[in-house]
Structure 1
């Protein structure tokens, strides 16, 4: 993580994890071209089979907000959005530094 960037954490539940993970890979490929994108870490829960999380890094909050609006109309995200049955947490965090 780069100091001063924004981390977006989304924790979601899905009904079909293999299908959601396939759709997520397509979404990840598309978002790489979004302005301000830095990285995306895809996480899957070990203890709860229907839970996944995404940790996406942006250069600033404006880029994260613009991407949030853009994914609503991006066809590459439609299957991933459809695979999500619920959102437990969607929050942005300012990075303070790393060890």
Structure 2
């Protein structure tokens, strides 16, 4: 049996939401070519104007962790990072149950 994929959840407050949304598209394109990438769901908060979240699926925890290091030096990711005022949550999860 294949182990379940890893879900990475990042919840951030951004300094400029419009700029963040544009920059996130560029970051998504770059990350989609990283080893072990499966998918990325880009989310915006309904109640908090400056809050966004990213739910990124990876084949393995190791792939997710390697990507986390790589984005720090990837020039395609830099504009997105520049819009993040604070990270509220950055965590990796494995699915225990699903309906």
Query: Counterparts of 1:62-73 in structure 2 under 5 Å?
Result: 62-73=62-73
- Consecutive unaligned residues of structure 1, counting only runs of 5 or more, are none
Helix, strand or coil at the partner of 1:67: helix
Structure 2 partner of 1:59? 59
State the 1:97 CA deviation: 4.0
State the 1:15 CA deviation: 1.3
State the 1:61 CA deviation: 0.2
Structure 2 partner of 1:4? 4
Number of paired residues? 98
Q: Does the 8 A contact of 1:4 with 1:97 survive in 2?
A: no
TM-score, normalised via structure 1 length: 0.95
Q: What is the rounded CA distance, in whole Å, between the counterparts of 2:15 and 2:61 in structure 1?
A: 30
Q: CA RMSD in A?
A: 1.3
TM-score, normalised via structure 2 length: 0.95
